[in-house]
């Protein structure tokens, strides 16, 4: 550890903060600098599309730690500052302020940015959601809105549609895929999620894409590829995300849909990545993966901090993620490849309580629980058997 005096972490969200805290917990007493381009103290994102949008949580409640904690842990926060480049030879990070910050070890935890439609984002009332400011802008828009169209029925879009509907808005949920969340969980389970939304009064428009957003100055509607028009005074575009790696182009750090890392989450000597932005080689599964889920941000950041300080170990988690929509809490462990076969192992979709198993190439690769948390935790053990 003697050659490591300065660790710089770029990205001040769950993965970045956990890296910094774990370094301290593991006894690192050198400089820790946490750089983030937002002005807010580091905060948690999953509640944004749930409690914050619903207004049941004040925005401050998403904050991870108070000022005093950063001071006590001697984590140097540089907020409202973007990293603009890395010199891996000189081992410095360039900042938007013009400063260069030297590092012995660098951790990239810049996450992802929302993907956008080809056109229409300049219209008032059209939103994306990633940051707290995005969520507050959408919440303010929803307060005045009558009709809401959510484009994209993945995690974020489906959750936001449920929240908007719970707030009493007319909501349409649009996706090119045949059912909501089919990319995540397949068509059969996604069909049940579609039913859940329909039963709660959401206009589910799946199997059809968006032709264009309508309106001059402010959005008034969404025209679908089949020619139908949905009225909208708020549109949320939730069509996925792209790794925030533009600042690393030309740095020599390998990029391919994320920061390419080895088994230990190291990209080039002395440079690591954690969280949504990291594409690492999962030795146990034998695949390169990038996981955009909250739990992975914590686990990967802890692994990176420990790998920096001690004997490096491969990062081989069982991914965990969850989503809350209306009264459904859906939790999942493992992987859910598009061609996996889903079977209901416990419970019944008619009761909206079930545990599903996902098999791929003969092996159990994922387990999913719908309002059956204890049973799901037991099912997780099955994943670890082979």
Partner 1 sequence: MRVSIDEDGCVGAGQCVLAAPDVFDQRDEDGIVVLLDKEPGEHLHEATREAALLCPALVIHLAE
State how far the Cα of 78 lies from the Cα of 109, in Å rounded to an integer.
14
- Pattern 61-100, partner 1, x by CB under 8 A: x--x------------------------------------
114 sits near partner 1 (criterion: CB under 8 A): no
**Segment 280-299, which members bind partner 1 (CB under 8 A)?**
294-295, 298-299
Q: Which is nearer to partner 1, 50 or 105 (CB)?
A: 50
Pick from 324, 355, 358, 370: which binds partner 1 (CB under 8 A)? Answer: 324
Pick from 272, 331, 336, 366: which binds partner 1 (CB under 8 A)? Answer: 331
26 sits near partner 1 (criterion: CB under 8 A): no
Pick from 212, 282, 288, 329: which binds partner 1 (CB under 8 A)? Answer: 329
Pick from 13, 22, 139, 182: which binds partner 1 (CB under 8 A)? Answer: 22
How many residues form the binding site for partner 1 (CB under 8 A)? 24
Length of the chain: 386
Are 124 and 219 contacting, i.e. CB atoms less than 8 angstroms apart? yes
Half-sphere exposure of 356 (CA within 13 A, CB side): 24
Handedness of CA 320, 358, 48, 275 (dihedral sign): positive
State how far the Cα of 201 lies from the Cα of 194, in Å rounded to an integer.
11
6 sits near partner 1 (criterion: CB under 8 A): no
377 sits near partner 1 (criterion: CB under 8 A): yes
CA 295 centroid distance within chain = 10
N-term to C-term CA, the chain: 36
- The H or E element that residue 102 is part of is strand 100-102
Q: What is the token pair recorded at 197? A: 């939304």
By CB under 8 A, name the binding residues for partner 1.
Answer: 18, 21-22, 25, 44, 46, 61, 64, 294-295, 298-299, 302, 320, 322, 324, 329, 331, 371, 373-374, 376-377, 380
């Amino acid at each position: 550890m003697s050659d490591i005096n300065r660790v710089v972490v770029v990205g001040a969200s769950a993965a970045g903060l956990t890296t910094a805290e774990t370094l301290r917990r593991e006894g690192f007493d050198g400089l820790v600098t946490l750089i983030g381009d937002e002005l807010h103290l580091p905060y948690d994102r999953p509640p944004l599309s749930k409690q914050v949008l619903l207004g049941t949580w004040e925005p401050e409640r998403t904050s991870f730690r108070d000022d005093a904690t950063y001071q006590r842990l001697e984590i140097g926060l540089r907020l409202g500052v973007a990293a603009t480049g890395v010199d891996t030879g000189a081992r410095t990070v360039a900042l938007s302020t013009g400063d260069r910050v030297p590092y012995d070890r660098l951790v990239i935890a810049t996450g992802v940015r929302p993907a956008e439609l080809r056109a229409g984002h300049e219209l008032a009332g059209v939103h994306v959601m990633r940051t707290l400011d995005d969520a507050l802008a959408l919440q303010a828009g929803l307060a005045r809105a009558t009709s809401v169209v959510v484009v994209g029925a993945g995690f974020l879009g489906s959750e936001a549609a449920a929240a908007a509907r719970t707030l009493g808005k007319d909501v349409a949920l649009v996706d090119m895929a045949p059912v909501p969340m089919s990319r995540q969980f397949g068509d059969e389970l996604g069909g049940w999620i579609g039913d859940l939304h329909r039963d709660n009064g959401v206009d589910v428009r799946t199997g059809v894409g968006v032709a264009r957003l309508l309106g001059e100055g402010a959005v008034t509607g969404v025209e679908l590829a089949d020619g139908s028009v949905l009225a909208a005074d708020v549109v949320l575009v939730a069509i996925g995300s792209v790794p925030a790696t533009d600042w690393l182009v030309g740095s020599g750090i390998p990029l391919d849909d994320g920061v390419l890392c080895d088994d230990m989450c190291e990209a080039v000597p002395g440079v690591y990545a954690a969280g949504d932005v990291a594409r690492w080689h999962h030795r146990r599964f034998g695949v390169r993966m990038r996981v955009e889920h909250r739990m992975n941000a914590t686990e990967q950041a802890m692994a990176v901090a420990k790998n920096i300080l001690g004997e490096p170990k491969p990062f081989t988690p069982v991914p965990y993620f969850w989503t809350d929509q209306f009264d459904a809490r859906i939790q999942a462990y493992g992987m859910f490849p598009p061609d996996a076969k889903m079977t209901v192992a416990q419970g019944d979709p008619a009761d909206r309580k079930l545990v599903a198993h996902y098999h791929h190439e003969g092996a159990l690769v994922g387990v999913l629980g719908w309002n059956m948390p204890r049973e799901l935790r037991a099912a997780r053990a099955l994943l670890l058997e082979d």
